[in-house]
């Protein structure tokens, strides 16, 4: 279902537990077969995420999370609708800046767990083909994110 790597930061079991719990719920809510799809998560620092952001998005600045989906939304929708998962494949990759998660948790006045959980569920829905650039897309994506977090009892403090 997922693979977590630590890149230039210290390994942390609590991060892994939080990520596992959130992804488990995401897969359940979206009726995805966890035994058929893999999400790769890299936890790193601002310097590494900045390099990736510049390389892949041509934006030379650090960010909180990057998402690299392997499928288009309509492809995923068709697989979910048909129930045909005839392959073992990667749903996509997430890269999360742990330092930025810490900073945002303080800025927004809630726990680190809540902010990390939000980054994971937010990135997951990007992997599922959702976006938030246009308002109508945001209106589809945000309720899904909040639903997963509420199901887990991870609310804003």
Residue 149's contacts (CB-CB under 8 Å, 6 or more residues apart) are: 114, 117, 118, 121, 155
The pLDDT score that the predictor gives to residue 31 is 87
CA distances from 85 to 2, 89, 108, 113 (A): 17, 9, 39, 32
Give the pLDDT confidence score for residue 155 in this predicted structure. 79
Cα torsion 20, 104, 128, 11: sign? negative
Query: Mean pLDDT of residues grouped by 10 in the chain (157 residues)?
Result: 95 97 96 87 98 96 95 85 73 96 95 97 95 80 94 84
Residue 136: per-residue pLDDT: 78
In terms of phi and psi (left: phi > 0; alpha: psi -120 to 50; beta: otherwise), the region of 109 is left
Per-residue burial over 142-153, b = 16 or more CB atoms within 10 Å of its CB, e = otherwise: eebbeebbeebe
pTM of the model: 0.92
| Coil vs helix vs strand at 93 | strand
Write down the pLDDT at residue 90. 84
Domains of the chain with CATH codes: 2-151 (3.40.390.30)
Shortest CA distance to 92 belongs to which of 133, 122, 112, 54? 122
- Residues ≥6 apart with Cβ < 8 Å to 116: 15, 18, 19, 96, 98, 101, 105
Largest CA distance in the chain: 44
């Amino acid at each position: 279902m997922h693979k977590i790597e630590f890149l230039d930061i210290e390994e942390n079991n609590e991060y892994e537990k939080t990520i596992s719990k959130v992804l488990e719920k995401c897969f359940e809510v979206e009726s995805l077969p966890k035994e058929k799809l893999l999400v790769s998560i890299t936890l790193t620092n601002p310097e590494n995420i900045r390099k990736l952001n510049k390389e892949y998005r041509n934006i030379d600045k650090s960010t909180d999370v990057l998402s690299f989906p392997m499928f288009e939304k309509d492809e995923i929708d068709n697989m979910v609708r048909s129930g045909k998962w005839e392959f073992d494949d990667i749903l996509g990759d997430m890269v999360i800046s742990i330092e930025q998660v810490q900073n945002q948790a303080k800025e927004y006045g809630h726990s680190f767990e809540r902010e990390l959980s939000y980054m994971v569920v937010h990135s997951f829905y990007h992997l599922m083909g959702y976006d938030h650039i246009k308002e109508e897309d945001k209106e589809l994506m945000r309720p899904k994110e909040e639903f997963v977090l509420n199901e887990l009892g991870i609310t804003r403090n």
